[in-house]
Amino acid sequence: MSVPGHPLDRMFNPKTVAIIGDKGPNYMWLRNNQPFKDRGGNLYSVQIDEKEIPGIEELGIENFRALTDIPEPVDYALVAVPRHVSPYVMKDLIEAKVGGAAFFTSGFAETGEELGVSLQAQLTEMAREANFNVVGPNCMGLYLPRVGVRFNPDVPVAEDGRVGFVSQSGTHSIMFSLVMGANGMHLSRCASFGNAIVLDISDYLEYLTEDPETEVIAMYVEGVKDGPRFVRALREAAARKPVVVWKGGQTDAGARATMSHTGSLASPHAVWQGIMRQCGAISTDSLDETVDAVKVLLDAKAATGKRMALMAMTGGQSVSITDAFVGEGFEVGRLSEGSYEELSSFFNIIGGSFQNPLDMAGTVQGKRETLERILGILDADESVDALVMEQSAMFGARQWKDHPERIDDLIDTLAGHIERSAKPFLMVMHPAHEEAFVAEVRLKFAERRIPVFASFERAAAAAARALPRATRA
């Protein structure tokens, strides 16, 4: 699926990719993109250095001495040449009518030195004049998990990506992709855009808004060059699909001269928050907050109500889960009388409680029917908008290691409940002393689209940000 006729469509859906200037001994970019070749794409190298060519051919990748020698039209090129060579490469890219090129090459305006600044100006002028699509420079370029175009050897190749990511930082684009993968969520398309000399954040945002594969958009942004255009693009995007904006850096903090009260109160952060609300975007301040918000958006059903039913396994946890959700503005109130009547018929109140929060380990005792019954009662309760359940690794891990079938049983129970229910369901699984084990278990939950969070606080914050815009049908 693509966006036919869009100027960025070729580079975002490449059939032929050229890697320009990759070098041994690691051949990082050719290796990153091997999956593209494995999946039937035409992957070529462009390298004039005779010393490098045998190593490239050993990888089974055909090398050309000039980009213009490649027999097929090149849809996307990744440029990793020394900076002083970049204008010559740009000339060839334009001549060969390549769909778009990312410049991993750095050493431009970001250095602040004269040569870098003037080289960047030269590239910009050449590309603008030719109306040529440049990603970067000083960036990691595109990551297209479905076709196997990658910017890092560990980011997954995946057919089921639903999240588009745009990032001013290369590191954050890789980190986000990896952490998303570790949570069982994949990207549709990702662009690390660096110095943004031609294509800027709004261009990518506009493409992802149109892209049918992208159901949720997330981005990392430090500063925006064209504010009004960004606001227009963001409003349009957020009207069509949920958009999470992770803002880094406090630009021009407090430096402005002002003669008004309003001006002195208008910190860049406060103004940014207002603009995000006005555009209908979800605002975050960190990687984890962004991943958590995306998880709610993808795998929870939507709810605007604030009345939570909270289920914990012990007394202490039932207090803490309540503190976390109340702290984020949710209500943890009484259930309906009908629910209490039903719960009282079987709930074990010795060492347990069913007021809301429910303290229920002693009642459930690993019995699937009992958990299903409780979930059913809460689902039917008209004074409940959403359900959250705690199952920490503290007790869970030992049990699950001894009886792996109990994980599958729990997952079946919860996945079945979520499918039947119209209300959001979130799960909190603190890893306790079992980080590695929980990392594996969490993926099993993710496969069945049960959203799992590492702490009460993270679940509550993500719910507060994202539940009203959650997309699961």
Partner 1 sequence: MTFAETIDRARGENRTLLSEVEAKAALAEAGVPVTATTLAQTREEAAAQAEGIGYPVALKVVSGNVAHKSDVGGVVLGLESHEEVADGYDEIIRSVQAAQPSAIIEGVSVQEMAAPGVEVIVGVTTDPQFGPVMMFGLGGIMVEVLGDVAFRLAPLGEGDARDMIDEIQGRQVLDGVRGQPPVDVGAVEAVLDGVSRFAAEHPEIAELDLNPVIASPEGAIAVDARIVLAEA
In the complex, the residues that contact partner 1 under the rule CB under 8 A are 223-224, 227-228, 231, 251-252, 256, 258-263, 265-266, 268, 270-271, 273-275, 277-278
Residue 129 or 252: the one with the smaller Cβ distance to partner 1 is 252
Nearest-approach distance from CB 468 to partner 1, in angstroms: 14
Residue 82 or 228: the one with the smaller Cβ distance to partner 1 is 228
Query: What is d(CA 458, CA 172) in angstroms, rounded to the nearest whole number?
Result: 20
Nearest-approach distance from CB 262 to partner 1, in angstroms: 3
Query: What is d(CA 150, CA 142) in angstroms, rounded to the nearest whole number?
Result: 7
Nearest-approach distance from CB 217 to partner 1, in angstroms: 20
Nearest-approach distance from CB 311 to partner 1, in angstroms: 31
Nearest-approach distance from CB 301 to partner 1, in angstroms: 25
Residue 131 or 260: the one with the smaller Cβ distance to partner 1 is 260
> What are the backbone dihedrals phi and psi of residue 242, each rounded to the nearest 5 degrees, phi first?
-65, 140
Query: What is d(CA 194, CA 190) in angstroms, rounded to the nearest whole number?
Result: 13
Nearest-approach distance from CB 280 to partner 1, in angstroms: 11
Residue 112 or 228: the one with the smaller Cβ distance to partner 1 is 228
> Beta-carbon neighbour count of residue 415 at 10 Å?
16
Residue 171 or 264: the one with the smaller Cβ distance to partner 1 is 264
Nearest-approach distance from CB 222 to partner 1, in angstroms: 12
Residue 247 or 417: the one with the smaller Cβ distance to partner 1 is 247
The string of DSSP codes covering 317-358 is: HHHHHHHHHHHTT-B-----HHHHHHHHTT---TT-B-SSSE
Residue with tokens 């590309």: 127
Query: What is d(CA 324, CA 165) in angstroms, rounded to the nearest whole number?
Result: 29
> Beta-carbon neighbour count of residue 396 at 10 Å?
22
Residue 195 exposure: Cα atoms within 13 Å on the Cβ side: 23
Rg value, the chain, Cα: 26
Residue 271 or 439: the one with the smaller Cβ distance to partner 1 is 271
What CA dihedral angle connects 433, 437, 442 and 448, to 10 degrees?
A: -140
> What are the backbone dihedrals phi and psi of residue 301, each rounded to the nearest 5 degrees, phi first?
-85, 155
Residue 75 or 203: the one with the smaller Cβ distance to partner 1 is 203
Nearest-approach distance from CB 229 to partner 1, in angstroms: 11
Q: Are 236 and 209 in contact (CB under 8 A)?
A: yes
> Beta-carbon neighbour count of residue 412 at 10 Å?
13
> Beta-carbon neighbour count of residue 141 at 10 Å?
31
Nearest-approach distance from CB 320 to partner 1, in angstroms: 25
Residue 142 or 221: the one with the smaller Cβ distance to partner 1 is 221
Residue with tokens 């909270």: 310
Residue 181 to residues 165, 415, 430: CA-CA distances in angstroms? 13, 20, 19
Nearest-approach distance from CB 275 to partner 1, in angstroms: 6
Query: What is d(CA 46, CA 94) in angstroms, rounded to the nearest whole number?
Result: 15
Residue 61 or 237: the one with the smaller Cβ distance to partner 1 is 237
DSSP state for residue 404 in the 8-state scheme: T
Query: What is d(CA 375, CA 354) in angstroms, rounded to the nearest whole number?
Result: 12
Nearest-approach distance from CB 177 to partner 1, in angstroms: 28
Q: Which two tokens stand for residue 317?
A: 């946890």
Residue 5 or 228: the one with the smaller Cβ distance to partner 1 is 228
**C-alpha triplet 248, 254, 257: angle, nearest 5°:** 140
Angle between helix axes 368-380 and 337-344 (nearest 10 degrees) is: 160
